[in-house]
Each structure stands twice: as C-alpha cells, then as structure tokens.
A and B are shown apart, each in its own frame.
Chain A
Amino acid sequence: MAIIDPRHAAKQLIYERVFRAATLTAAALVLVILGGVGISLARGSWPALSHFGFSFVTREIWNPVTDEFGALAAIYGTVVTSIIAMAIAVPAGFGIALFLTELCPPLLKRPIGVAVELLAAVPSIIFGIWGLFVLAPVLQRHVQPWLIEYAGAIPGVGKLFMGPPYGIGVLTAGFVLAIMVLPFIAATMRDVFDTVPPMLKESGYGLGATTWEVIWHVVVPHSRVGIVGGVMLGLGRALGETMAVTFVIGNAHRISSSLLAPGTTISSSIANEFTEAVGDLYTSSLIALGLLLFVITFSVIAAAQAMLRRIERRASLAL
C-alpha cells in the first residue's frame, strides 16, 4: 500500500482550498452585510437628505400631507426615553450584579442568574403588549397623578410632569425600556465584576473594609471600563428598541415639555409608518431616520465593545 497516493493528496489539497475559501467567504460576508446596510440606507435616504439638507435633523415638523419632514421630534424622543431608561436601569442593574457576585447565597446564584437571562430572552413585542395593557394603566391610575400633584409643583422640574395622565407617553416608554435593558446591563456588570481578582477584594476585607467599601473602592475602580462598556451596550439597545416602544409611546411627532405626553422615537416612527408611507419623499425620510439610528447605535455599540474588549484583555493578562 502506498503511503501517500499523489492523486489522493492533490484531491485533499483541493478540498482544503475549497473549504478554506468557503469559511473565508462566510466571514467576509459579515463585513459585506454591515457595509450593505450602510450603503443601502444611505442610498434610500438620499432623496430626503438632498431635499431637506441639514435641516432634516433640526426641524420638528413631520407632515406627510405637505411632504415636509424633520427628524428632531423623533431624535428627541429617542434620546429622552433612553435617558429615562438608563437612569432607572443602570443603578438597578448595578444592584443586581452586586447582589449576584457578592451577596447571593451560592445555591440561589444560578436560578437568579438564569431568571435575569430569561428576562433578556423575552421578545420585545411582549414587553410592548404588557406595557400597554398592564403597566400603562397602573402608571395612569397610581403613579402619574401623584407625579403631577407633587413633582409637578416643584419649580423648574415641574414642567416635566404637567398635563393629563394619559398612561402612554414618553415616561411609560422609558419605564418599559428600563425593564428591557436591565438584564443586559446586569449580566454584563456581573461578568465584569467576576473578572476582579479575589486577592484584591480579600486585601480590602483584610484591612477591615465593609462589603460596600470593598465594592465601591476596589471592585468598581478595577472594573470601571467594563461597567461603562456594559452601560453603553444597554444604551445601544435602548436607542434602537422598536416594538416595545411603539406600543406605549403614543406616536405623536412633537416635542412636549412634559414627560407624560405622547411622543415618538426614530424606531417607532419607522415601525408605525413605513408600510403606510405613500410618496417617495415620505418613504425616503423614514429610511433617513433609519440611517440616523444606524449611525448612532453603531457608534455607541462599537465604543461599548471596544471598552469591554479592553477589560477582557486585562483580565486574561492578570491570570
């Protein structure tokens, strides 16, 4: 028996090249998809952007009848709902991560961790339907009247809590978003906290520090970059989240000083209006909104990934 049959070897080499080329193509396809998204959105939004110019992002007007479109209300809604979401979800996510890494009895660690991950797996449309039928009525009946009566009376801040309690609106959308991004923030922070070498924490305890002092003065400084990365990952999600917001925001293209009033976001405008959009300029304006969202979320998520990568590298060096 010949040890190496030359024909066999040649065939093997061909297979090898073909297989390698196939895997390389698949990997390159990931880049092609991202490039394709950018190019197709840019092309689709060109009619609107060339027609309105820079004023597209500075004007509040959104009038399909007169074909005048500006993205400011949608951008405002996106930013404000995300700020509300982050204001709630970041401290809460920090608390959950802290509980899971430092306080939780080992027996409960897994079940609670899994529960948090399940919350992340619930599809966004479910958050939307729950937000509309359960959360919004509760807020309307119990929380918003209270806010209007007490917070509305505070000079300055009061403007944010004026008007009738609709139930749906910017504030409700922010609440639903907060619940949605909470598991992502909590899970990332937990993973980041786990990268802190036990020796560092033990040194803190050895000096007589309390649990909170160890967390605040040892764990947090050590994992600062990762914490920011996790927060920005959550922010990326909140900015681009569509269905949950579409249900509860009320879809009104205007900027109200009150958080209780209906508003709109970039993604919910697209979801609500795209299939009904008649006229090239209308469709193109919606795609231009998509392009804006793409650029914003891409930058935020890319920055988050870069930060998380840095902490991963440092953790692997420390080991």
Chain B
Amino acid sequence: MSRRSFRKFKNGVFLALSLIATLAGLACLAAILWTLISHGLAGMSWHLFSQMTPPPGSRGGLLNALFGSTVMTVLGILIGSPIGVLAGTYLAEYGHNSRLSVLVRFINDVLLSAPSIIVGLFIYEVVVVRMGHFSAISGALSLAVLAIPVTLRTTEDMLNLVPIGMKDSSAALGAYPWRTIISVLYPAARSGIVTGLLLAIARISGETAPLLFTALNNQFWSTNLDAPMANLPVVIFQFALSPYKDWQDLAWAGALIITATILILSVSARALLALLQSKGGSAR
C-alpha cells in the first residue's frame, strides 16, 4: 500500500470508529428509554396516583412517594435556590475577580460534581444526629445543598450576559447597585435564572443517595416534615431490589415517571436557553 493510500485508510478507520462510538452512545440512551417505556407502561395505572405503596403481595400505588418527592424537591429548591441566586449575584456584580470570588467559583464547580452521597452523610451528621431521627426536612436540606451549585453557576453566567449598557444607564439615573440588580438585571436575566431553577429541579428530583439516610422512607402517607417521608427514588431502590413482582412493577412505573419528568425539565430548560441566546444575539 502506498503511503498516501495508507494515510487515507487510517483516516477512514478512525473516522469510522468515531461514528461507531457515537452510534453506541445513542444506542445506550435508546436502550434505556426503551426499557423504561416498555416495563414502565405495563405498570402504569390510575392506582399509581391514588393509592399508597403496598405491603408485598398486594396491589397499590405510589401516591405517598410522589407526594413526598414533590414536597422535598420543592422545599429543597425553596431553601437552596435563593442562596444560589444571591451567591451568583455576588460573584457577578460585587466580587468580580476578587480572591474570595475566585475561590467560591472554584469550590462551587467542585461541589457541582461532588458525589451526592457525601452530602447525605454531611446532613446526617449535622442534622439527623442532632435531631435524633430521620426526617423529611433533613432530606430537603440535603437536596438544597445539591441545588445551590447549579443555581449559582447559571445565575452568574446569566447576569454576565446582560448588556453592560443597561447597568450603566441605571447607575447614571442614580440607582444604587442593589436597585439596579433587582429592578434591571434580574428582570433582564429572568428566563436564564428560571433555566437554572429547572436544571436544579431536574438534578435533585432524581437523587437517591442523599435521601437514603436523611429522609429514609415511609410506607404510609405522612405530611409531617419532622418524620421520615416516602420518596420516589428510595421507593424505586427498595422495590426494584425486592423479590416481589408487584413491587418491581411499581419500581419500573416510578422509574418511568421520574425519568420522564427529568427529561422534560432538561429539554425545556435547554429550549429556553436556546431561545434566550437567539434573542440576545439579535438584540446586540
């Protein structure tokens, strides 16, 4: 083989391999989604949304788990996102490149990919041990800790996208920075910040590890934040590993619900972001 055709051959081989890698990645996603849909739809019924998690051997639903997951996710966002948004505001508007903000930015990026089970252990040590028992509120707190880095990062990025002229005009009218931030920058960056919230919800609503030893689980309906609360991920974990067919079916149905929710959230967050960028591009 001549040198030239060998180079062409090598090129072809590697490009084919890269195509195969892409197809394999897409195939994995398709296989997971297909499994979820085919197993999950079989277990879908109205009972899921009207009945509690059953004891083994009888039929039931996921109502208490769905409720618990919603409560803890909402609480986690309510606690975590204000902190993330304010901290992101500090980095973008006050701190800029001060030593503190560089450090916070770095630590935040580390927290963004830190293992969530560590956060669960942290909340267990700080909250559960002090309170003496597992509780929904400690579950919500661990989710809040996971929500902070996501909202912080998006808020800072989005505030930096606001055209500097708007900030200057506000300052020229005599407004203090806080006034500018609340009345000019937040409205201008609103959809971006909402995107951050959606991403944070998507991130925390599927988290299992930190809930295992904070919120634990609850076989029954409970609205008490001071007591263990059922939640979808932990129910899926327990039911999927059980030997009972009824429980496994419920686990698949729960898995489908949770994945569908999260994928819808991430797709809409991305769509919102794309819309924002195209709008921002035409404005400038």
Contacts and interface: CB of A to CB of B under 8 A. Distances in A.
Nearest to B31: A134
B113 A301 contact: yes
Interface string B8-52: 101100110111111011101101100110010000000000000
B115 A27 contact: no
Contacts of B103: 31
A interface, by DSSP: helix, strand, loop or mixed? helix
Contacts of A4: 174
Contact of B240 (A12, A27, A132): A132
A309 B19 CA distance: 29
A32 B139 CA distance: 19
Given A26-B83, A112-B26, A129 B31 contact: no
A213 B114 contact: no
Contact of B122 (A41, A112, A246): A41
B261 to A, nearest CB: 10
Contacts of A287: 121, 125
A117 B36 contact: no
Contacts of A53: none
Contact of B118 (A37, A116, A126, A134): A37
A233 interface: yes
Interface stretch (A61-69, A79-87, A89-97, A146-154): A89-97
B20 A95 contact: yes
Interface stretch (A155-163, A195-203, A236-244, A253-261): A236-244
B2 to A, nearest CB: 14
Of listed B32, B89, B108, B241, residue having the most chain A CB within 10 A: B32
Interface in A91-121: 91-96, 98-100, 103, 112, 114-119, 121
A75 interface: no
A-B interface, 8 closest residue pairs, ranked by CB to CB distance from nearest: A240-B115, A123-B206, A95-B21, A26-B86, A23-B90, A19-B178, A95-B18, A210-B11
B18 to A, nearest CB: 4
Nearest to B251: A129
Contacts of B181: 19
Interface string B53-94: 000000000000000000000000000001111110111011
Given A122-B32, A127-B32, A274-B212, A43 B125 contact: yes
A237 B209 CA distance: 14
A19 B113 CA distance: 29
A143 interface: no
A236 B113 contact: yes
A52 interface: no
B113 A211 contact: no
A40 B26 CA distance: 41
B206 A30 contact: no
Contact of A297 (B31, B115, B122): B115
B258 interface: yes
A29 interface: yes
Nearest to A98: B18
Contact of A212 (B15, B85, B178): B15
Interface of A: 4, 12-13, 15-16, 18-20, 22-31, 33-34, 36-37, 40-41, 43-44, 91-96, 98-100, 103, 112, 114-119, 121-130, 132-134, 179, 182-183, 186, 210-213, 215, 233, 236-237, 239-243, 246-247, 267, 270-271, 274-275, 287, 290, 293-294, 297-298, 301-302, 305-306, 309
Contact of A124 (B14, B118, B126, B208): B208
Given A126-B255, A271-B117, A271-B209, A212 B32 contact: no
Contact of A36 (B109, B122, B212, B267): B122
A29 B106 CA distance: 14
A273 B100 CA distance: 39
30 contacts: A12-B176, A23-B90, A24-B90, A26-B86, A26-B89, A28-B104, A29-B83, A30-B108, A34-B107, A34-B111, A37-B118, A40-B125, A41-B121, A94-B21, A96-B21, A96-B22, A124-B209, A126-B255, A133-B39, A213-B7, A236-B114, A240-B117, A247-B240, A274-B121, A275-B213, A293-B118, A297-B118, A301-B110, A301-B114, A306-B106
Nearest to B93: A23
Contacts of B24: 92
Contact of B148 (A33, A92, A118, A294): A33
Contacts of A267: 115, 117, 209
Contacts of A103: 15, 18-19
B25 A126 contact: no
A123 B212 contact: no
B221 interface: no
B195 interface: no
A241 B267 contact: no
B113 A16 contact: no
A25 B119 CA distance: 20
A94 to B, nearest CB: 8
Contacts of A242: 115-117, 208-209
A27 B122 contact: no
